[in-house]
Amino acid sequence: MAKKIISFKTKIVLMLAIILTYISTSLFLLPYNNAVKAVAYSYGSKGNIVTQIQTKLKDWGYYNGSIDGAYGYQTYTAVKYFQSKNGLNSDGVAGDATLAALGINTSGGNTASNSESNNQNVLLIARLINGEARGEPYEGQVAVGAVILNRTRDPRFPATVPGVIYQPGAFTAIVDGQIHADMQQSSMNAARDALNGWDPSGGAVYYFNPATATSSWIWSRPLIKIIGKHRFCR
pLDDT at 59: 84
Task: Classify residue 113: in a domain, yes or no.
Answer: no
The percentage of residues in the chain with a pLDDT greater than 90, rounded to a whole number, is 53
Mean pLDDT of the chain: 83
Q: Residues 6 or more apart from 134 whose CB is under 8 A from it?
A: 181, 184, 187
Q: Do both 97 and 189 map to the same domain? A: no
Q: Do both 90 and 131 map to the same domain? A: no
For range 132-143, the mean pLDDT: 96
Task: Classify residue 83: in a domain, yes or no.
Answer: yes
CA angle 17, 21, 23 (to 5 degrees): 120
Q: Do both 59 and 157 map to the same domain? A: no
pLDDT digits (tens, 9 = 90+) for 77-136: 999 998 888 778 889 999 888 888 888 876 654 444 455 556 788 999 999 999 999 999
Task: Classify residue 139: in a domain, yes or no.
Answer: yes
Owning domain of residue 31 = 1-37
- Give the chain's domain count: 3
> Do residues 215 and 167 make contact, with C-beta atoms less than 8 angstroms apart?
no
CA 127 to chain centre: 11
Give pTM, 2 decimals: 0.55
pLDDT digits (tens, 9 = 90+) for 53-87: 999 899 888 999 999 999 999 999 999 998 888 77
